[in-house]
């Protein structure tokens, strides 16, 4: 029964992804973000996209977002997840260091209530602002990374400020033995020494299990759940 429920949830999530514009972001990572978002938060940079979210207290017909660098000419409409959170993935624009924008809620233009950084435009409008990292600061991340010194580096990009752990066949599936370090906001890393062989593993965060979204190798545990697979060669 647990396996059936999990499969139904995955199918629903992937069906939702088919309706959402997700430029430049890997599908599994986007699915995880959509499913685990229960409340709105400040904009979050995920790989080469920005995740915007909003959860109004009252029922609304639609929520959109418009950007200053587009002269506010286009309103990008949000989608809604199963928790009632409206969200939108927007690709990081080239050559823009500060992204100024406004939300549009049922035709009413307003700053983003979850973003504390606001500015006043030349026309006297209050805009929300998101400072973007320099292009050379956007470092490509892979996982797992098998290093030449006999160590393996595990990386997971997730919501900042979380407790993230790694368990697998190399530690008896203990969910609290190996805690990943948040080396920069939203990027968690752990380095382990592993002998040559095949290993199975999973990430844990806030009581939930996650596959490694950057590792395409998959297997199944004894209950039929998918797990990530790592092959360490001599």
Q: Which of 31-35, 149-153, 195-199, 200-204 has the lowest mean pLDDT?
A: 31-35
**Nearest residue to 89 (alpha-carbon basis) of 160, 11, 33, 9:** 33
Q: Evaluate whether 2-135 and 145-232 have a shared fold.
A: yes
Give the pLDDT of residue 135.
52
Length of the chain as a residue count: 234
Q: Alpha-carbon distance 41 to 186, whole Å?
A: 14
Q: How far is CA 143 from CA 147, 166, 191, 216, in A?
A: 11, 13, 11, 10
Q: What is the third-level CATH fold of 145-232?
A: Immunoglobulin-like (2.60.40)
**Nearest residue to 198 (alpha-carbon basis) of 230, 154, 166, 150:** 230
Instruction: Please give the residue that has the higher pLDDT: either 7 or 188.
Output: 188
Q: Is 186 left (phi over 0), alpha (psi -120 to 50) or beta?
A: left
Count how many Cα atoms sit within 13 Å of the Cα of residue 101 in the half-sphere of its side chain. 26
Q: What is the third-level CATH fold of 2-135?
A: Immunoglobulin-like (2.60.40)
Task: Give the list of residues 6+ apart from residue 197 with CB closer than 8 angstroms, or none.
Answer: 231, 232
**Nearest residue to 91 (alpha-carbon basis) of 142, 63, 128, 52:** 52
pLDDT at position 217 over 80: yes
Count Cβ atoms within 10 A of the Cβ of residue 190 and give its class: 0-12 exposed, 13-18 middle, 19 or more buried.
buried
Contact 155, 211 (CB under 8 A): no
pLDDT at position 13 over 50: no
Q: In the chain, where are the structural domains located?
A: 2-135, 145-232
Q: Alpha-carbon distance 146 to 87, whole Å?
A: 35
Q: Alpha-carbon distance 176 to 128, whole Å?
A: 39
Q: Alpha-carbon distance 179 to 160, whole Å?
A: 14
Q: Average pLDDT for residues 195-219, to the nearest whole number?
A: 91
Cα-trace Rg, the chain: 20
Task: Work out the pLDDT band at 136, boundaries 50, 70, 90.
Answer: very low
Q: Alpha-carbon distance 138 to 95, whole Å?
A: 13
């Amino acid at each position: 029964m647990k396996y059936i429920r999990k499969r139904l949830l995955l199918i629903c999530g992937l069906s939702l992804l088919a309706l959402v514009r997700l430029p430049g972001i890997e599908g599994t990572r986007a699915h995880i973000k959509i499913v685990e978002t229960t409340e709105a938060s400040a904009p979050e940079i995920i790989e080469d996209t920005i995740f915007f979210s909003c959860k109004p207290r009252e029922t609304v017909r639609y929520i959109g977002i418009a950007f200053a660098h587009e002269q506010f000419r286009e309103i990008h409409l949000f989608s809604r997840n199963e928790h009632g959170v409206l969200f939108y993935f927007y690709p990081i624009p080239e050559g823009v260091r500060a992204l100024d924008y406004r939300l549009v809620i049922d035709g009413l233009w307003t700053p983003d209530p979850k973003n504390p950084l606001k500015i006043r435009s030349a026309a006297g409008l209050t805009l929300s602002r998101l400072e973007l990292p320099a292009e050379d600061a956007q470092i490509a991340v892979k996982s797992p990374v098998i290093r030449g010194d006999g160590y393996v580096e595990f990386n997971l990009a997730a919501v900042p400020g979380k407790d993230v752990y790694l368990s697998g066949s190399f530690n008896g599936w203990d969910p609290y033995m190996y805690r990943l370090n948040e080396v920069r906001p939203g990027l968690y890393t752990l380095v382990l020494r592993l002998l040559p062989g095949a290993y199975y593993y999973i990430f844990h965060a806030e009581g939930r299990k996650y596959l490694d979204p950057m590792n395409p190798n998959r297997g199944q545990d004894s209950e039929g759940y998918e797990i990530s697979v790592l092959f360490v060669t001599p």
